[in-house]
Amino acid sequence: MNWKDFRLSFSLLVLCRLLLAVTPYVDSLELDHDHQLSSPTNSYVRLQEGIFLYKHDVDPYSGGAFYHSPLYLSLFTTVLPTSRFLCRLVWTLVDALGAWALVGIWRERQTLESSSRDTLIAAAYLFNPYLFLPNLALSTASFENMLQLLALLFACKGRASPALFFASILLHLSLHSVLLLPPFILLLLSSPHSHLVNPKFFIAYRNPKASLGTALSYIGEFLVYAAIMSLCCTTVAGGWGWVEKTWGVVLTLPDLTPNPGLWWYFFTEMFDHFRPFFLMVFSVHLLMYVAPICLKFQHDPLFASFALLGVLGMFKPYLTLADPGLFLSMYALFPEIYPYLYHPLVTTLLHLHAALLLPLFHSLWLDQGTGNANFFYASTLVFGMANGAAMVDAIWAGLRIAVGGRQGEDEGEIAVVQE
Amino acid sequence: MRLFTWTTTAYFYITFCLSLLTTTFASDGATSQEAAQDFFSRHAGPENGSNHTNNWAVLVCSSRYWFNYRHMANALGMYRTVKRLGIPDSNIILMLADDVACNTRNKFPGTVFSNQGRHLDLYGENIEVDYRGYEVTVENFIRVLTGRMDASVPRSKRLLTDDRSNIFVYMTGHGGNEFLKFQDNEEISAFDIADAFEQMWQKKRYNEIFFMVDTCQANTMFSKIYSPNVLATGSSELGENSYSYENDADVGVAVIDTFTHYNLEFMEGINKTSQLTMQDLFNTYSFEKIKSTPGVHSDLFTRPLDRTLITDFFGGVARAELIDENAIVEHTSGPTTDVDEAELARSEDIPLPDILADTKNSATSGRRSSSPGLMKQLRAWCPVAVIGVLATWIVMSR
């Protein structure tokens, strides 16, 4: 048995995760009510509520408790189980699929069939606490991450239809994934390889005769898939009420349950007549990152989507730990920037700091009552700073690598293929 | 002859199909309604039938000045009883027209007693008076009942009932033929109360009301009520006075009225698990004890009095069912229950209901017919099927 064989080590990692999922101790932690691990749009408790209502002929979107997409309703009333134990297994398999997709993206980026770093990358996804804790809490953010990585994988492979299909399903689970469509299209037209060292204007490597028309045809195909999925959603939900309650929720923020994000506290203390204005400001704030990042990293669209995932992992309306978790795990795909990171230690320490403060202040506020919401909001600000530091450092290194000159660039086991 | 048999066969066949169809669609229609009805009747059983989910109390003392100490004590006695039996402060509207506990003539400041010898302080440390002093007016009382208030009125001063609330309305003070005096300068008439109750009925603000009045000629106050589900009782007939019960020598004034005193005495024997009925309460009324003729107006009340529990109005009994946390959400018409019988508060004289049999009955009685269930299954499978088809098509066509 070759321990370095990826299939073996991957199976061992997945086995470890399965064992973790079925440990009875995990049940006693009551993770699915934890505010850091799941938010109203991806909480398992609300999913069960919606499925119960749906099964008993009550429209789950008529009240204010259920914000999941109708696709979840159909999935869990047909093929997937709803019992907690089986759901843990399903969620672990979802994470395993996401890890496999991440390894596939790495392999596409290096044009390798297998490499010695595969196991490390799979472990970076499977054992990232920001990812496996929401997974144990049965947050549906695991599904979103898995679909995101699958779509990126197929985009890296250059297969437009599967990539756009998964992206359209992801659009229904999380509206903000549409921000990743531009780098997707760029990735489909060019290559996933690392061009960070050599920034040039955008070259459509895969399809030299590509034009704006090709990009528009990709967008059109995406819209067709999205429209088909919308019609399916309407069939399940029995009307168009789901649009307001799934996509509308992330735009109008009716539910102000605390989460590690930056929106909820702002809107708890806002006067009503300012609300539409600030909702617009926060949403446009997300939009405005797309164009600059895509323009700046047009030579390496995979890196651009990585940076945009970092932006989403900071500024999403209903944030959980899984969103910056995906960003941090994807750091493993870009080892060429490690010598150029300006403050990796500060970022790590900020993350440690935030990881200690978030549960502490949450408990101090809501369990013991000796603190108040400001405590928890301060810890989410620290968390935001940590994510911001990680993102800014990644972008800085991605740009700085083009200048070069750092020692230790070509040392080490892996010579990163750069063009 | 053959034509006759054909037509009759056809006729019977069509009737049979129509009846099958109507029973199909008739039985499926309101499964969620059936589930709700099932929930209410399951533990109430055939003996009870009360379908309220929350209890409220409106306790009004409408007279001021020191010599009306007993009216304050009446209201506070009812307040204490109602709180003891489980209605929380958030569901009680207490209106006291004057503050006798902190009156300068009160030899025992900060206290209100309702018996000779001052054995029990009704004021205590934990009471919540919602309308006090000059806020106790006819207008405020009617606004409380009907819910027609300015948006600035805080929640603690509102009667936030719904159509499954049982309300206990208690009024005490000075009254007469079809009126009750408020604050010595205005009066509310029996017609006003009847109209207020009717407004509440139209707005679905109550399930059942128990209206108790302790004034002179009190029975006239409920004589004009015309809304359903109202049970009323008063302390004295037209032309009769209601009397106070006893004086306390050191307080110096009468401390309680007879009608309220005997009601409270009956209530002292009641706790939250009591199964005593309103009929038992009314059976204790007698002219010899109360010195006036109490009246009971149950014409508008739909349930039989010997099946109506005291705690339906005076208590805030919560019915809790423990649900197995790991239960699978299944296709049943009612929620699966796994009731821990040892934790249910039931008195020893009532046999424990057979909960398992009830669950089985509810499951079989509420089963949906197949046709709409099939449609729902098809609708649920639609996205999964579409995703599967699209995925295979994409994989196939490289």
Q: With respect to residue B382, please indicate whether it lies within any of the assigned structural domains.
A: yes
When pLDDT is cut at 50, 70 and 90, the band that residue B42 belongs to is low
Q: With respect to residue B20, please indicate whether it lies within any of the assigned structural domains.
A: no
**Average pLDDT, integer, range A253-266:** 91
**Average pLDDT, integer, range B63-86:** 94
B396 with B276, same domain: the answer is no
Q: Which of B329, B397, B398 is the closest to A55 by Cβ?
A: B329
What is the tens place of the pLDDT at every residue in A194-239?
888 888 888 888 888 878 899 999 999 999 999 999 999 999 988 8
CA dist., res. B345 & res. B348, Å (int): 10
Of B314, B348, B366, the domain-final residue: B314
- The whole-number pLDDT of residue B337 equals 38
Q: Catalogue the active-site residues of B.
A: 174, 216
Q: Which domain holds residue B74?
A: 54-314
Percent of chain B with pLDDT strictly greater than 90: 58
What is the tens place of the pLDDT at every residue in A50-96?
999 998 888 899 887 899 999 999 999 888 888 888 999 999 999 99
A314 near A384, Cβ under 8 Å? Answer: yes
When pLDDT is cut at 50, 70 and 90, the band that residue B355 belongs to is very low
Q: With respect to residue B104, please indicate whether it lies within any of the assigned structural domains.
A: yes
B386 with B278, same domain: the answer is no
- Two tokens, residue A198: 């050599």
- The whole-number pLDDT of residue B223 equals 93
CA B349 to chain centre: 24
Q: Which of A82, A225, A232 is the closest to B382 by Cβ?
A: A232
B379 with B292, same domain: the answer is no
CB–CB contacts below 8 A, A to B: 66
Q: Reduced to 3 states, what is the DSSP secondary structure of residue A97?
A: helix
Q: Which residues of B touch A (CB under 8 A)?
A: 31-32, 35, 326, 328-331, 333, 376, 379-384, 386-387, 390-391, 394-395, 397-398
When pLDDT is cut at 50, 70 and 90, the band that residue B124 belongs to is confident
B172 near B75, Cβ under 8 Å? Answer: yes
Nearest residue of B to residue A231, measured between CA atoms: B383
Q: With respect to residue B166, please indicate whether it lies within any of the assigned structural domains.
A: yes
Name the minimum distance, in Å, from the CA of A398 to any CA of chain B: 34
Mutate which of A86, A161, A242 to test chain B, going by most B C-beta atoms within 10 A? A161
What is the tens place of the pLDDT at every residue in B57-67?
999 999 999 99
Nearest residue of B to residue A73, measured between CA atoms: B380
Q: What is the dihedral angle through the alpha carbons of B336, B338, B343, B348, rounded to the nearest 10 degrees?
A: 80
A291: nearest Cα among A387, A168, A204, A181: A181
Chain A residues touching residue B330 (CB < 8 angstroms) = 55
Among A34-43, A392-401, B1-10, B167-176, the minimum mean pLDDT is found in B1-10
- Average pLDDT score over chain B: 81
Of B266, B299, B314, the domain-final residue: B314
Q: With respect to residue A152, please indicate whether it lies within any of the assigned structural domains.
A: yes
**Average pLDDT, integer, range A374-390:** 95
The answer on pLDDT for A336 being more than 60 is yes
**Average pLDDT, integer, range A183-204:** 89
- Two tokens, residue B105: 């003539």
When pLDDT is cut at 50, 70 and 90, the band that residue B354 belongs to is very low
**Average pLDDT, integer, range A254-271:** 90
Task: Supply the ipTM of this predicted assembly.
Answer: 0.78
- Average pLDDT score over chain A: 90
CA dist., res. B113 & res. B120, Å (int): 6
Q: With respect to residue A412, please indicate whether it lies within any of the assigned structural domains.
A: no
CA dist., res. B296 & res. B232, Å (int): 6
- The whole-number pLDDT of residue B334 equals 38
B305: nearest Cα among B235, B219, B231: B231
Nearest residue of A to residue B391, measured between CA atoms: A162
Output the CA torsion sign for A220, A223, A229, A233.
Answer: negative
- The whole-number pLDDT of residue B330 equals 54
B69 with B184, same domain: the answer is yes
Among A161-175, B45-59, B332-346, the minimum mean pLDDT is found in B332-346
CA dist., res. B377 & res. A73, Å (int): 11
Residue B15, CB half-sphere, CA atoms under 13 Å: how many? 6
Name the minimum distance, in Å, from the CA of A170 to any CA of chain B: 12
The answer on pLDDT for A120 being more than 90 is yes
CA dist., res. A396 & res. A339, Å (int): 12
**How many folded domains does chain A comprise?**
1
- The whole-number pLDDT of residue B396 equals 81
Chain B residues touching residue A165 (CB < 8 angstroms) = 390-391, 394
What is the tens place of the pLDDT at every residue in B218-240?
999 999 999 999 999 999 999 99
The answer on pLDDT for B265 being more than 90 is yes
For A320-382, give the DSSP string. -THHHHHHHHHGGG-GGGGGG-S-HHHHHHHHHHHHHHHHHHHHIIIII-SS-HHHHHHHHHH
What is the tens place of the pLDDT at every residue in B356-366?
333 444 344 33
Q: With respect to residue B221, please indicate whether it lies within any of the assigned structural domains.
A: yes
Chain B residues touching residue A236 (CB < 8 angstroms) = 379-380, 382-383
B365 with B266, same domain: the answer is no
Contact A229 B386 (CB under 8 A): yes
- The whole-number pLDDT of residue A181 equals 94
A308: nearest Cα among A123, A183, A405: A183
B235 with B136, same domain: the answer is yes
What is the tens place of the pLDDT at every residue in A342-375?
999 999 999 999 999 999 999 999 988 888 899 9
- Sorted by sequence, the CB contacts under 8 Å of residue A182 that are 6+ apart come out as A290, A291, A294
A197 near A401, Cβ under 8 Å? Answer: yes
Mutate which of A51, A221, A230, A232 to test chain B, going by most B C-beta atoms within 10 A? A232
Nearest residue of A to residue B383, measured between CA atoms: A232
Q: With respect to residue B8, please indicate whether it lies within any of the assigned structural domains.
A: no
A302: nearest Cα among A166, A108, A143: A108
In the block, residue with structure tokens 């953010």: A141
Q: With respect to residue A414, please indicate whether it lies within any of the assigned structural domains.
A: no
Q: With respect to residue A108, please indicate whether it lies within any of the assigned structural domains.
A: yes
The answer on pLDDT for B299 being more than 60 is yes
Chain B residues touching residue A228 (CB < 8 angstroms) = 386, 390
Q: Reduced to 3 states, what is the DSSP secondary structure of residue B80?
A: helix
- Which residues in chain A (45-104) have CB-CB distances under 8 A to chain B? 48, 51-52, 55-58, 70-71, 73-75, 77-79, 81-85
**Average pLDDT, integer, range A123-147:** 95
Q: With respect to residue A125, please indicate whether it lies within any of the assigned structural domains.
A: yes
Q: Which domain holds residue A297?
A: 3-405
- The whole-number pLDDT of residue B380 equals 85
**How many folded domains does chain B comprise?**
2
**Average pLDDT, integer, range A233-248:** 90
Q: With respect to residue B124, please indicate whether it lies within any of the assigned structural domains.
A: yes
What is the tens place of the pLDDT at every residue in B187-207?
999 999 999 999 999 999 999
Q: What is the value of pTM for the model shown? A: 0.62
Contact A56 B394 (CB under 8 A): no
**Average pLDDT, integer, range B83-105:** 93
Per this entry, what is the length of chain A?
Answer: 419
CA A111 to chain centre: 24
Of B277, B296, B314, the domain-final residue: B314
Q: With respect to residue B331, please indicate whether it lies within any of the assigned structural domains.
A: no
Percent of chain A with pLDDT strictly greater than 70: 96
- Two tokens, residue A80: 């997937």
